[in-house]
Structure 1
């Protein structure tokens, strides 16, 4: 077999075993670009045979991430050699200080010292593509894969124990609305970035219980460390965030969990891989190579015997920099809820990466994109740019590249896991509401609290 038809195993092992030194936290400005980080690789996978027609156009890409469990597939694909297996030997996984930093760094791209893409809350790729959160500077993005389902929760400060703040807060709505009468300020809740996933989760939870998040409380974007400190000292009341923060809040006796997002919407879409469209258009084979490596990483993470190995990789100083013992329980679906609530012990309630109780996790369903943009309309976000369902669908068709996911899965031999439709069908929420992608207007009309 020629050297061109088989990727060099020696080169693969040498490259994949390389590691970075230290984690560099960004300052959130364009002049301070991200730097790659890594940890030593132990077990490596065998290099794949790569035919000339599938050889990547480049071996290098810079992917940003935020240190929460949603990033695990990118980190594992790098550290276990799954990216390198398909020829992507120079993938840099770059820690971002926050979502604003990630947005700014993808705007300038890796050629300008930023990133080519990476992990995103939804619908950030759509908003960046349309210039909605980049001061009108349109940077077309392609949505390529879902990274994870679930893995988030709503945490409440310990001072609010015993007030009925659980999954259904209908009986606690008056307590929340009248908070200022006893505390001298409105009930204060936080998420990590406005108008995206974690904002949507806490808004849905409040509204389902009869609390208007735009009128009855103060809801704002605050970095996790500041939020947690506020929960400690009594100046912050609730927090919508991803693992490991929910479990950490319990473990450190800062507060309790009102609900997991897996209870709000079981097997819900969470964060995604998206890359600048110009990079993908220039490097379609490299894009599919990345997707193949990502898919293998997702399957490996879900392996029942790999939990401790996954945690060992992601918890390290160069990635999450957290104790391993606060990551193992969430990965097993073991959650202490606090405030007298029963513990949850169910693997299917924790983060899942390849398959869940409905189907494939990794596939980027357009129906999920539509829910996020419909929810944007519900709250009156981006009225000028996303004014109706038809406009939302047009944006989705420009951004979502489920076709590349299917091609990569087919080439990698994962055909049994390719969904039959780009719609996952009707979605069901804990409060009885349903979202039918064929009739999103009916979903909007069914919601009592909204700003549309």
Structure 2
């Protein structure tokens, strides 16, 4: 047993108030074993002052939520560990580690009644694709997007074989390299954790902004985040787009370097979201708001940098991420050893409650529109999507429930957005997205399928 494993085991024994039990999920899933974390009644953190006002008592105390072991999941884990779910009456929440995004999709399809989950953490636009049956074998499972979990906290890591080639945020001078690789029969291989969602969009945007067509010049792969380091070591990929701690661990294990942070590609960008099955939320509206209140409080706790050391300690534990604490803590503090440069800037770290543009937690409809527009850009959705997007977003995005929960939880009025649009967004290459005119955004892009 090495030093880290010994320390982790002692820490686990000392913090046995948060127990982990194996969760029975779909057979055939690969990657991290699914686990469930539940609050122990003997844990001080799990016994908060109950804050349920008369008339707000949840219809049920339990819900099954899925997560993937990347920093986006922190609000769900902390809401459980710190007793914020229990504080609002949800004392029997089950937080289930998913083997991969495909497992999460399949588990929400069958629901908790079938041994799956009721919702949880999602890349965008997965809740929309599930609602439309596009990734669930044409079975439409209506979903509600209820809050954004975080911004930033992702990066694009490259294999060490490309070290010293000046492959960074801007790729303007690297087109020849990609063409050379293609001509030699060994295309540049870029991987992400699930197709047609966040992490594929980041790597596609980064490549296309540098004049490299990801569909023509690059081989795109889907790889679970837990396999990132091993696959990079054996040379199965040139680049990987995923959430912390995996990009940073590639650097820590000296198998690669970071070419770009998503915070550099799009500062304060929308990242991953919390969404529930519509049928569960409609049946349990008070419980839905109680869950949101717990997540909001957890997001505020996570955003306090004085708590980041403890956050790293909790996430690092075997039942959650199972990684060395140090590879989590530095990025959580905005300190990135990129391999060929360094970043020390808290504004570039993963954020959960507020960022430079305002609310992180509130699910802006304008951001959902960008994800759908970007899907059209790459041919993942038909061009006609833009004409029906508003109606679809109004059906799936329930920012009204977020606002109700925020008001009930006593969130300051200044922290509750008054508009469903965050306005014009600008990317690192100068391209702008105006949610009032998504077609103009598409027209401005040189590399696209649409």
- Matching residue of 1:210: 211
Q: Does 1:397 align with 2:399?
A: no
- Matching residue of 2:37: 37
- Matching residue of 1:116: 118
* Superposed displacement of residue 365, structure 1: 0.2
- Matching residue of 2:358: 359
* Superposed displacement of residue 230, structure 1: 3.1
Q: In 1, are the aligned partners of 2:110 and 2:116 still within 8 Å (CA)? A: yes
* Superposed displacement of residue 36, structure 1: 1.9
Task: Identify which range, 297-306 or 259-268, moves more after superposition.
Answer: 297-306
Task: Identify which range, 391-400 or 105-114, moves more after superposition.
Answer: 391-400
* Superposed displacement of residue 298, structure 1: 0.3
Alpha-carbon distance change, 23 to 301 in structure 1, aligned in 2, over 3 angstroms: farther
CA distance in 1, matches of 2:28, 2:389: 30
What is the TM-score of this pair, normalised by structure 2? 0.92
Q: Which runs of 5+ in 1 are unaligned?
A: 1-16
CA distance in 1, matches of 2:206, 2:24: 32
- Matching residue of 1:432: 430
Q: Provide, for residues 267-299 of structure 1, a one-character-per-residue CA deviation record: whole Å limited to 9, x for no partner.
A: 000000000000000000000001111000000
Alpha-carbon distance change, 321 to 39 in structure 1, aligned in 2, over 3 angstroms: farther
CA distance in 1, matches of 2:348, 2:24: 31
Alpha-carbon distance change, 24 to 46 in structure 1, aligned in 2, over 3 angstroms: closer
Q: In 2, are the aligned partners of 1:64 and 1:102 still within 8 Å (CA)? A: yes
Q: Which runs of 5+ in 2 are unaligned?
A: 1-15
CA distance in 1, matches of 2:284, 2:60: 7
Q: In 1, are the aligned partners of 2:39 and 2:91 still within 8 Å (CA)? A: no
Q: Provide, for residues 215-264 of structure 1, a one-character-per-residue CA deviation record: whole Å limited to 9, x for no partner.
A: 11101212234443332233310000100011101100010111000000
Alpha-carbon distance change, 421 to 27 in structure 1, aligned in 2, over 3 angstroms: same
SS at match of 1:273: strand
Aligned 1:185-204 pairs, distance under 5 A? 185-204=186-205
Q: In 2, are the aligned partners of 1:191 and 1:240 still within 8 Å (CA)? A: yes
Q: In 2, are the aligned partners of 1:38 and 1:319 still within 8 Å (CA)? A: no
- Matching residue of 2:154: 152
- Matching residue of 1:306: 307
Q: Provide, for residues 8-56 of structure 1, a one-character-per-residue CA deviation record: whole Å limited to 9, x for no partner.
A: xxxxxxxxx96433455956659xx965224774535632342331110
- Matching residue of 2:320: 319
Task: Identify which range, 361-370 or 219-228, moves more after superposition.
Answer: 219-228
Instruction: Quote the RMSD (CA, aligned, Å).
Output: 1.9
Task: Identify which range, 256-265 or 47-56, moves more after superposition.
Answer: 47-56
Q: In 2, are the aligned partners of 1:65 and 1:118 still within 8 Å (CA)? A: yes
- Matching residue of 1:94: 96
Q: In 2, are the aligned partners of 1:62 and 1:116 still within 8 Å (CA)? A: yes
- Matching residue of 1:9: none
Aligned 1:318-337 pairs, distance under 5 A? 318-337=319-338
- Matching residue of 2:408: 411
Q: In 1, are the aligned partners of 2:39 and 2:92 still within 8 Å (CA)? A: no
CA distance in 2, matches of 1:439, 1:344: 35
Alpha-carbon distance change, 152 to 251 in structure 1, aligned in 2, over 3 angstroms: same
* Superposed displacement of residue 390, structure 1: 2.1
CA distance in 1, matches of 2:186, 2:25: 33
Alpha-carbon distance change, 274 to 29 in structure 1, aligned in 2, over 3 angstroms: farther
- Matching residue of 1:450: 448
What is the TM-score of this pair, normalised by structure 1? 0.91
Aligned 1:208-287 pairs, distance under 5 A? 208-287=209-288
The number of residues matched between the two structures is: 430
- Matching residue of 2:3: none
